[in-house]
Amino acid sequence: MDKQVKTILKLESVSKQYRLEKNQNLIAVNEVSLNLYQGERLAIVGESGCGKSTLGKLVTCIEKVSDGKIYFKGKDISKLQRGQLRELRQELQIIFQDPFNVFSPRMKIGAFLNEPFINYKKMNKNTAREESKRMLEAVELDQSYLDKFPHQLSGGELQRVVIARAMALNPSLIVCDEVTSALDVSIQKQIIELLTKIHQETGMTNLFISHDLALVQSFCDRVVVMYLGNIVEVMKSDELGHTAHHPYTQELLNSVFSVHGDRKKEINVLFGEPPSPMNRSGGCPFVKRCVMACEKCLLKMPELKKCKDNHLIACHRLEKCEIK
């Protein structure tokens, strides 16, 4: 990424802890530092429970950070009040995994799409309806959908409507949280093609949360790999298949089935279970599942270090940047 490109989102040592019973703390996100550049599509990937969705909620202020700071367009948004959050929503939107949970079953699609225009731009209903028609056209749906109820639409159609609403106020950043995982494969392809088209036409910035490595390789510019609340590797997406060096990233890649049905490809299943995220002590979070672990890994958390341009790794074995 060109250093002259403007940073739109900056995370500085962001952590999120949840207080549980018996004085236990669940560490969902652990001291994450990250930059997202204007116009970039940045992927956050990892196993379920790695903290990627929590990170998306922190960025959009749905959840409040426990420690650290989040800067959006240079402004600290870590501890905004309700009135300030309303203003932020115009520039920062999120699209969730399951579109069926977004809608009121008694609200027509038109009313759902009209809301941001009425509430934020103070339009009357007729003007808002015309804008809603325009947004439906942008996601390749015709105006007849305005008078339908959510149960009359398929999952793919509902997700298109959700995307249309997220775009309504022309936000600077949209967080996409597993936006295709609840959809059929053929519909997933259509949604990604739609998001690609929108990006090409508007240059909109995306934080794309997913567990699908093949998908993020084709759609995103950079990939951030998370494990147990920590960033373990950052690299360009088109280099993911051949320059990923962290043991966890390699295990993720080795566990992916070939879409071409390659019977010769060996599928490796990552052994062991992730350690508990509650009151975790020092050391590398991946140490108990890592085939490269050494004594230092048990004692000290590895730092995320630059090994070459646009490539960061948190691994004691690789900290000398011995990457060819």
- Superfamily name and number for 7-91+169-318: P-loop containing nucleotide triphosphate hydrolases (3.40.50.300)
Name the region of 45 (left: φ>0; alpha: ψ -120 to 50; beta: rest). beta
**In this predicted model, what pLDDT tens digit does every residue of 189-206 receive, in sequence order?**
899 999 999 999 999 999
**In this predicted model, what pLDDT tens digit does every residue of 102-128 receive, in sequence order?**
899 999 999 999 999 999 999 999 999
Which residues on adjacent β-strands are paired with residue 147?
A: none
Query: Is the pLDDT at 144 greater than 90, yes or no?
Result: yes
Tokens of 233: 């590797």
In this prediction, residue 249 has a pLDDT band, given cuts at 50, 70 and 90, of very high
Average pLDDT of the residues in 63-74: 96
Tokens of 225: 């790999």
DSSP 209: E
Among residues 213, 239, 237, the alpha carbon closest in space to that of 41 is found at 237
Helix (H, G, I), strand (E, B) or coil at 42: strand
The pLDDT assigned to 294 comes to: 87
> Distance between CA 196 and CA 175 in Å, rounded?
14
Average pLDDT of the residues in 262-286: 70
CB-based contact 216:134 (threshold 8 Å): no
Tokens of 280: 């975790």
Among residues 151, 50, 142, 144, the alpha carbon closest in space to that of 99 is found at 151
The pLDDT assigned to 288 comes to: 85
Average pLDDT of the residues in 16-35: 90
Non-local CB neighbours of 252 within 8 Å, separated by 6+ positions:
45, 46, 47, 213, 225, 270
Hey, what's the torsion of the CAs at 45, 48, 54, 57, to 10 degrees?
Answer: 70
Which residues on adjacent β-strands are paired with residue 11?
A: 34, 70
Phi, psi of 312 (to 5 degrees): -120, 140
Q: Mean pLDDT of all residues in the chain?
A: 88
The pLDDT assigned to 241 comes to: 82
More confident residue, 277 or 214: 214
The top-scoring range by mean pLDDT among 17-21, 67-71, 309-313 is 67-71
Q: HSE (CB half, 13 Å, CA atoms) of 42?
A: 28
Note the pTM of the prediction, 2 decimals.
0.90
The pLDDT assigned to 307 comes to: 82
Query: Is the pLDDT at 212 greater than 50, yes or no?
Result: yes
> Distance between CA 230 and CA 312 in Å, rounded?
13
Hey, what's the torsion of the CAs at 155, 161, 164, 166, to 10 degrees?
Answer: -80
The pLDDT assigned to 266 comes to: 58
In this prediction, residue 324 has a pLDDT band, given cuts at 50, 70 and 90, of very low
Average pLDDT of the residues in 282-290: 87
More confident residue, 243 or 320: 243
